[in-house]
Amino acid sequence: MAAPPPARPTVGGVSTATSRAACDLCEAARLTPWHHEDDVCWVADCEVCDVPMVVWKEHGAAPPADAVDHMIAELERVAGARFGEDGYSIDRAMRQIPDHFHAHARDPGWWWRRFGR
């Protein structure tokens, strides 16, 4: 019997290491509405949070500064159209997938709208 594969490291039960092949963000499945796509990133509604999310097309947690600036600008453009210029904040904490850069634009009511049933 073959030995089981080594467990991926976790922090609080969340994987801290995924390969590109196993990364949900690399898969880029079109499960929710998409708002933007270019050579650097895509912006779509987050499947879990139901707010706009920008995702770097490269697998990694630390894109170059110019790529981050571009991605945040695209996210702000989409969020501004959806929530108004002052109706959101950018959340760059990568909680569920910490090894692939992404950021959310969260409006003040996102938590209750999504989870406060």
Contact 53, 103 (CB under 8 A): yes
How high is the pLDDT of residue 40?
98
How high is the pLDDT of residue 21?
66
Domain membership of residue 71 (yes or no) is: yes
Which structure tokens are listed for 62?
A: 């630390």
* Owning domain of residue 89: 32-115
HEC states along 19-69? CHHHCHHHHCCCCCCEEEECCCEEEEECCCCCCEEEEECCCCCCCCHHHHH
Amino acid type, 41: C
Domain membership of residue 27 (yes or no) is: no
CATH number at residue 95: 3.30.428.10
Number of domains in the chain: 1
How high is the pLDDT of residue 23?
92
How high is the pLDDT of residue 19?
62
How high is the pLDDT of residue 114?
77
Domain membership of residue 2 (yes or no) is: no
Domain membership of residue 5 (yes or no) is: no
Contact 110, 64 (CB under 8 A): no
How high is the pLDDT of residue 111?
86
Domain membership of residue 108 (yes or no) is: yes
Domain membership of residue 11 (yes or no) is: no
Domain membership of residue 107 (yes or no) is: yes
Q: What is the mean pLDDT of each run of 10 residues along the chain (117 residues)?
A: 45 48 88 96 94 97 97 98 96 94 95 77
Distances (CA, A) of 44 to 7, 13, 28, 50, 68: 30, 26, 10, 9, 16
Classify residue 16 by its DSSP letter: S
Domain membership of residue 49 (yes or no) is: yes
How high is the pLDDT of residue 116?
76
Classify residue 5 by its DSSP letter: P
